[in-house]
Structure 1
Amino acid sequence: MSVRTRRQKAAAAAVDEQPASTANGVAHTTSTPKKAGKEPQENIFLFWPNLVGYARVVLAVASLYYMPLHPRTCSFLYSISCLLDALDGYLARLFHQSTTFGSVLDMVTDRCTTACLLVFLASAWPRYSIIFQGLISLDLASHYMHMYATLSMGGAGKSHKAVDSSRSWILHKYYTSRTVLFIFCALNELFFIGLYLLSFSSPKLSPSLLQPPPHTEPMTPQPGNPAHQPPGTLFASPWSAGALELARANKIDSTVPWIITGVSFPIMAIKQFINVVQLVKASNWLAEGDLAKRRADRAEGKLA
């Protein structure tokens, strides 16, 4: 090591040890701040509740694949996807991994899966399609308006489930009680699953499924006749509406679907009422914000 290098190191050490400033005869030394440790890098997309959310999406897509012709498989996969909705919230609280992304993923998955099931029901019963279309619109509109109102009026960091009782007692009870929320969501989905199963089994709702048309011979190849010929000999396309209806015929017994539908109907009806309340309250909240903004603009002279 050269003399010059040793002198430079000694001078640098002396500078580090000497007082940086003197006040009232008291020397204050400067110290080099230590580097803060690196914060752990977290991947929001790999949080446990979000992984469950991805599994829900996969199960929902699989249920849609089996929906046209395989009611048991579809209902099983769809039900598991819905039940996992409760698990992701539990994992979020357990691992302290509640995120805005996870909340939005959960809501979008719920809305999309329900809408897809209602689309199938509208195609199964075209006469009542306007009812199913209305239910889809109400579900999407009420939740979108509520989410938007919460974020714009309540603050970006506020959860859509944080509804003050003074604003709406029924929404406060609905969102803050996990038991109430689970029961209403589960039975609402169960009602539509019951209707889906009835579309495969109930001659009362779909007379052509099991009964041959009037004034026809028992062995004629009519859609819905139990003694029908193979679908390929009746329909040019195996995916036509008539071929699908024929393939659904005589699939399952309608007793259990009727019980499921009857038991869950009252809760489903109340859930739709809550959607209406949610839509109205969110609209009023947004209107209050618009009025407050107009008053502020008028006070600043931006409005006449």
Structure 2
Amino acid sequence: MPPGRALAQRDQDRGSDDNSRQDAERQPENVFLFWPNIIGYIRVILAISSLYYMPLHPRTCSLLYAISCLLDALDGYAARVFNQGTQFGAVLDMVTDRCTTSCLLVFLATAIPRWAIVFQGLIALDFASHYVHMYASLVIGGAGSSHKNIDESQGWLMKVYYSNKIVLFSLCALNELFFIACYLLSFSSPVIPLYLNADIDGHGPLHPEVEVDTSLLAKMFPDPFSSAALELARANKIDKYWPNIIVIGCFPFMALKQVINVIQLVQASQRLARVDVQRRQGIKQG
């Protein structure tokens, strides 16, 4: 091949490579397949699995639920390492947190009826606080803002809570641990001592010191998934010593988390109100 034609061919090939590279760069990234979001999907699967085991299998449920919560720290780490922080990932993370905690509190409201109004109030506070806070962040900061961007006007407590990753993770983890311990306690309250450790179908092991017809349970509870049968199945399955210790130890942190939720709700509402005042003043002046 003549030198001139070879040079032209080389330039053409180089131009083709540059065009291919530019086309590849112009192709949109698939945000749904970013590593932090994949971890988020795994969290959702683990949370749903824990709900399946929640009525009768406290150890399996607690393990799955705890792993789902711990992965909350891993997705943030992956977002920083791979530079894959996204608005979708932030929403997925927050929605997963709110929904999993709420599902556990719903169970606690049914398992410990005397405290049902408390658990219901915590659900309402959690959703209201985070929704109003995120909405205020979007209204004031725009679409590219983050709900974790806290200015000095919002106080040192909120600043430390959202800016210090160790504080944020520790407080959220201890808050969830408190509710998991409450969940385990619901399996340690004796209801009918005669049938300790019996399965709901009447064929499980009974208390060794008590002799009773195992078919009696099946006659008493023809529907093994009725509220009474499930309550009996939960009785005396978990030793309450360690759950009690965890509840007592984590209670101050859970209470602090709820105080932060109240502060967050109040401050976000005030920020939205200031935006409304400014808009109304602008309309009047215009």
Asked whether 1:61 is paired with 2:44, we answer: no
When the two structures are superposed, what TM-score results if normalisation uses the length of structure 2? 0.84
> Counterpart in 1 of 2:108?
121
> Counterpart in 2 of 1:21?
none
Distance 1:48 1:168 in 2: 34
Distance 2:143 2:150 in 1: 14
Asked whether 1:167 is paired with 2:154, we answer: yes
Distance 2:254 2:76 in 1: 22
Distance 1:274 1:68 in 2: 31
1:209–1:245: 8 Å Cα contact kept in structure 2?
A: no
Distance 1:51 1:234 in 2: 46
Question: Which of 104, 112, 129 matches 2:91?
Answer: 104
Report the secondary structure of 1:65's partner residue: helix
1:60–1:113: 8 Å Cα contact kept in structure 2?
A: yes
Question: Which of 117, 123, 133 matches 1:130?
Answer: 117
2:189–2:236: 8 Å Cα contact kept in structure 1?
A: no
Distance 1:76 1:166 in 2: 40
- 1:250 deviates by 2.0
* Counterpart residue identity of residue 264, structure 2: Q
Distance 2:175 2:193 in 1: 28
Following superposition of structure 1 onto structure 2, how do residues 130-149 of structure 1 map, counting pairs within 5 Å?
130-149=117-136
Q: Which moved more, 1:168-177 or 1:129-138?
A: 168-177
- 1:153 deviates by 1.2
Structure 2: runs of 5+ lacking an equivalent? 1-17, 196-201
* Counterpart residue identity of residue 150, structure 1: S
* Counterpart residue identity of residue 198, structure 1: L
Question: Which of 189, 207, 221 matches 1:235?
Answer: 221
Distance 2:270 2:236 in 1: 50
* Counterpart residue identity of residue 283, structure 2: D
Distance 1:275 1:114 in 2: 14
Q: Which has the higher contact order (CA 8 A, sep 6+)?
A: 2
- 1:257 deviates by 0.6
Question: Which of 32, 41, 57 matches 1:70?
Answer: 57
Question: Which of 278, 283, 289 matches 2:275?
Answer: 289
1:168–1:281: 8 Å Cα contact kept in structure 2?
A: no
Q: Any idea what the Cα deviations from partners look like across 1:83-111, whole Å, max 9, x if unmatched?
A: 00000000000000000000000000000
Distance 1:98 1:239 in 2: 43
> Counterpart in 1 of 2:230?
244
Distance 1:282 1:166 in 2: 11
Asked whether 1:154 is paired with 2:147, we answer: no
Q: Any idea what the Cα deviations from partners look like across 1:191-233, whole Å, max 9, x if unmatched?
A: 0000000000145xxxx26489xxxxxxxx9xxx955745422
Distance 2:248 2:193 in 1: 22
- 1:190 deviates by 0.2
With over 3 angstroms needed to count, the CA separation of the structure-2 counterparts of 1:256 and 1:211, relative to structure 1, is farther
Report the secondary structure of 2:236's partner residue: coil
Q: Any idea what the Cα deviations from partners look like across 1:10-57, whole Å, max 9, x if unmatched?
A: xxxxxxxxxxxxxxxxxxxxxxxx968122431100000000000000
Report the secondary structure of 2:137's partner residue: helix
Question: Which of 162, 165, 180 matches 1:193?
Answer: 180
With over 3 angstroms needed to count, the CA separation of the structure-2 counterparts of 1:88 and 1:281, relative to structure 1, is same
Of the two, which has the highest radius of gyration?
Answer: 1
Q: Name the Cα RMSD after superposition.
A: 1.8
1:201–1:209: 8 Å Cα contact kept in structure 2?
A: no
With over 3 angstroms needed to count, the CA separation of the structure-2 counterparts of 1:210 and 1:132, relative to structure 1, is farther
Report the secondary structure of 2:22's partner residue: coil
